[in-house]
Amino acid sequence: MAEEHRDEPAAMVNPDADGDREIVVPLLSEEMSVSKRVVPTERVQVSRITREREEFVDELLTSERVEIERKPINRPVDAVPSMREEGDTVIIPIVEEVIERRLVLKEEVSIRRVRQAERHQERVTLRRHEAVVTRSPVQDSAASGDG
């Protein structure tokens, strides 16, 4: 059953200057206010840990070095020979002018690339992070709704 609450009469009758009756009905309104608040129910803690593991690395490493060979020639030439390549060897002619004004091929310098590959093995330590999440209930009066 609905509860009725009256602060004023439902209607008031007021005679006006002409003697007519005027009925005044008061209108009421209610207002409501709604609010929210955060009530923690549990606590969450996230921590980070680092785990390590060893792995074996087995890779083929390649390196290069150059070998220089000086080969004496001492042979007269009419013009300066040009630099040339023979396979993977670069040959640089070295000439010298002698007093009688003839060219003598004094020597040749050969530069050859030597490629070498060797297996390299090593133990390495790898690290990775993990997240650990711990949940626990809140133990204060705000969680119970008293605050």
pLDDT in tens, 113-145: 889 999 989 998 888 888 888 888 887 655 455
Length, in residues, of the chain: 147
The mean pLDDT of 67-90, rounded to a whole number, is 92
Which position has the token pair 């050969």?
110
Structural domain count of the chain: 1
Q: Retrieve residue 83's tokens.
A: 């630099």
Displacement of CA 110 from its chain's centroid (Å): 49
Most confident of 5-14, 71-80, 137-146: 71-80
Residue 46 within a domain: no
Residue 16 token pair: 């006006």
Its domain, for residue 132, covers: 55-147
Any idea what the Cα angle at residue 11 is, between residues 6 and 14, rounded to 5°?
140
From CA 147, how far away is CA 138, in angstroms rounded? 13
Encoded tokens for 126: 């790898």
Average pLDDT over residues 41-59: 89
Is 133 a domain residue? yes
- Provide the token pair at 24: 């005044």
Whether 28 is in a domain gets the answer no
